[in-house]
């Protein structure tokens, strides 16, 4: 998420992490991120010190039988549950989920979810009906679609999603000694602090996030893109990254009634090799999550491409959408634009081909200006807008993230609510900035975090999914 001129020689990973380097760009509309200290830090503006003690294993994640654990495929419940139509449902939080048959599989309860799901009593081949289970945390979220300038559920209700962003999944995983609890505990702590919305953004970093000359090397990246210097990270296969980090994170979000944005977190000119890498990423990842109603795809975090017009850049964005739609025809896609997502109005006014497209805008005090506000208004008139990154550091000294204006948050809220926009706040951490927390144990909210929690609480019964 940051900008500047690209350095030819990468800065050593640990040095930047320990130095708490603050990065910024000369152009308007850019934002730096501090390189925090701690375990497993990284180089560059998006470096992180790991998860600072977030190493507690999440109890019960796999203590119960998965929904629909039939030999060939029981079904999980007529109204939810992670039905195992091929015999492999999601792990329950406790108790058996859905139906469990011998071959054909019995049908689970009417809302057989993970927790306390009904147990099917049917037998071979045909299977009888299961008992009714109680809907729990793993209940299926309704699929969302775009209708004009709004996101709606299947009943036509307008949905506004609000929530929080996680930093690099690989850093959280590494900071928990190569365990997904680094991610799941982070979600737990954010929710417990009052950041209880209905969406979480999951940042998936490639091998090298270029970041305008301040490259960041995730300790456990998704294996795509330019290789990092030797010894900079642990290399997993695509299958292992998905199985050990991404899929468990998405599943845990769903268990907590959260939509999950899979964010391919590159910061670079997208009209080039980085865009080609993004297509490769989505060609592998989109098929895995095509059947997930809670998954939203964000094809490219922040394209730079400052010299491109939308007409020039549009074919690059179309290549992302085409790669995703080849496998996932229905999930929402968050469409990026040039200048670090500062041109949503240009993009929405001449949309790429495809359905269920939402347009993103990233905003910090440094690019909070009339031109940006007009871009948002132009986009919101014809399509949904999703602020997948926003934040501020009250009385911070950084020229892009900091502001002495105590009304910056309320002013931003007024614009967002007036345009019916969705959002997720960057970032649920105490070191990456702008920080929702004041410490790495995530025990205290910052001024930004307190404002965000208050905003979420004020909308808790107005336009949520539930």
| Domain residue ranges of the chain, discontinuous segments joined by + | 13-48+145-458, 63-92+94-136
58 vs 76: CA distance, rounded Å: 24
Position 464 scores a pLDDT of 54
Q: Terminal CA-to-CA distance of the chain, rounded, Å? A: 32
- Give the max Cα distance, the chain: 68
Residue matched to tokens 């417990």: 192
Q: What is the pLDDT of residues 167-210, one digit of tens each?
A: 999 999 999 999 999 999 999 999 999 998 999 999 999 999 99
Assess whether the previous peptide bond of 434 is cis (omega < 30° from 0).
yes
Determine the Cα–Cα distance for residues 11 and 222; give it in Å rounded to an integer.
21
Q: State pLDDT tens for residues 6-43.
A: 232 233 322 333 222 333 333 333 343 433 333 333 33
Fold of 13-48+145-458: TIM Barrel (3.20.20)
Categorize the per-residue pLDDT at 462 as very low, low, confident or very high, splitting at 50, 70 and 90.
Answer: low
Q: What local confidence, expressed as pLDDT, does residue 44 receive?
A: 31
Specify the pLDDT at position 177: 97
d(CA 24, CA 30): 7
Q: What is the pLDDT of residues 269-292, one digit of tens each?
A: 999 999 999 999 999 999 999 999
On the question of pLDDT at 222 being above 70, the answer is yes
Of residues 28 and 391, more confidence is placed in 391
Q: What is the pLDDT of residues 90-121, one digit of tens each?
A: 333 333 333 333 333 333 333 333 333 333 33
Mean pLDDT score, 240-258:
97
Least confident of 41-55, 143-157, 226-240, 408-422: 41-55
CA–CA separation, 319 and 313 (whole Å): 10
More confident position, 161 or 28: 161
**How much of the chain exceeds pLDDT 70, in percent?**
69
Instruction: Give the residue-averaged pLDDT of 453-464.
Output: 82
User: Considering only 19-23, 264-268, 388-392, which range has the smallest mean pLDDT?
Assistant: 19-23
- pLDDT score of 56 more than 90: no
pTM, full prediction:
0.75
Mean pLDDT along residues 349-354: 98
According to the model, what pLDDT value does residue 196 have? 87
Q: Please give the Cα distance from 196 to 191 (Å, whole number).
A: 5
**212 has pLDDT over 60:** yes
**Candidate from 322-326, 343-347, 396-400 with smallest mean pLDDT:** 396-400
- pLDDT, one tens digit per residue, over 409-443 is 999 999 999 999 999 999 999 999 999 999 999 99
pLDDT: is 466 or 386 the higher one?
386
**Per-residue model confidence as pLDDT tens digits over 61-71:** 333 333 333 33
Could you give the C-alpha distances from 316 to 215, 300, 336, in angstroms and in order?
A: 22, 10, 10
Q: What is the token pair recorded at 111?
A: 């809302």
Res 463: pLDDT? 60
DSSP per-residue codes, 425-452: ES-SSSSSSS-SBSSTT--SB-HHHHHH
Residue 76: how many other CB atoms lie within 10 Å: 37
Q: What is the mean pLDDT of the chain?
A: 77
Query: How far apart (Å, rounded) are the C-alpha atoms in residues 98 and 78?
Result: 9
The pLDDT of residue 72 is above 60: no
SS3 at position 251: helix
To the nearest 10 degrees (0 to 180), the angle between helices 310-325 and 273-289 is 30
Residue 438 CB coordination number (10 Å): 16
Question: Above 60 in pLDDT, residue 76?
Answer: no
């Amino acid at each position: 998420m940051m900008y500047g001129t690209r350095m030819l020689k990468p800065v050593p990973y640990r040095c930047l992490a320990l130095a708490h380097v603050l990065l910024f760009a000369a152009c308007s509309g850019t934002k730096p991120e501090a390189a925090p200290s701690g375990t497993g830090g990284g180089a560059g503006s998006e470096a992180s010190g790991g998860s600072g003690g977030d190493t507690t294993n999440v109890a019960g994640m796999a203590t119960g039988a998965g929904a629909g654990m039939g030999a060939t495929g029981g079904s999980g419940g007529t109204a939810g549950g992670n039905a195992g139509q091929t015999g492999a449902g999601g792990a329950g939080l406790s108790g058996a989920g859905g139906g469990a048959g011998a071959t054909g599989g019995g049908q689970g309860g009417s809302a057989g979810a993970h927790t306390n799901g009904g147990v099917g009593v049917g037998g071979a081949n045909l299977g009888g009906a299961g008992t009714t289970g109680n809907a729990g945390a793993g209940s299926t979220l309704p699929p969302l679609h775009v209708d004009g300038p709004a996101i709606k559920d299947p009943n036509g209700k307008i949905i506004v999603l609000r929530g929080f962003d996680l930093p690099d999944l690989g850093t959280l995983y590494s900071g928990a000694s190569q365990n997904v609890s680094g991610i799941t505990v982070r979600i737990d702590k954010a929710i417990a602090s009052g950041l209880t919305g209905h969406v979480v953004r999951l940042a998936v970093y490639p091998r090298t996030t270029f970041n305008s000359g301040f490259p960041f090397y995730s300790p456990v990246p998704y294996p795509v893109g330019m290789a990092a210097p030797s010894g900079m990270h642990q290399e997993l296969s695509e299958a292992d990254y998905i199985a050990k980090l991404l899929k468990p994170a998405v599943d845990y979000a769903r268990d907590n009634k959260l939509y999950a944005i899979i964010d391919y977190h590159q910061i670079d000119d997208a009209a080039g090799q980085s865009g080609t890498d993004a297509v490769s990423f989505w060609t592998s990842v989109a098929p895995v999550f095509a059947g997930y109603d809670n998954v939203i795809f964000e094809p490219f975090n922040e394209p730079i491409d400052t010299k491109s017009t939308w007409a020039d850049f549009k074919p690059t964005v179309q290549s992302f959408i085409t790669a995703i739609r080849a496998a996932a025809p229905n999930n929402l896609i968050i469409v990026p634009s040039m200048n670090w997502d500062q041109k949503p109005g240009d993009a929405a006014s001449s949309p790429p081909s495809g359905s269920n497209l939402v347009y993103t805008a990233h905003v910090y005090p440094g690019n909070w200006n009339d031109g940006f506000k007009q871009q948002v208004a132009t986009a919101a008139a014809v399509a949904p807008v999703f602020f997948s990154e926003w934040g501020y550091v009250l009385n911070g000294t950084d020229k892009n993230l900091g502001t002495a204006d105590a009304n910056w948050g309320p002013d931003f809220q007024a614009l967002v609510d007036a345009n019916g926009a969705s959002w997720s706040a960057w970032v649920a951490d105490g070191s990456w900035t702008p920080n929702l927390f004041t410490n790495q144990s995530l025990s205290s909210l910052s001024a930004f975090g307190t404002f965000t929690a208050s905003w979420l609480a004020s909308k808790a019964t107005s336009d949520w999914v539930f």
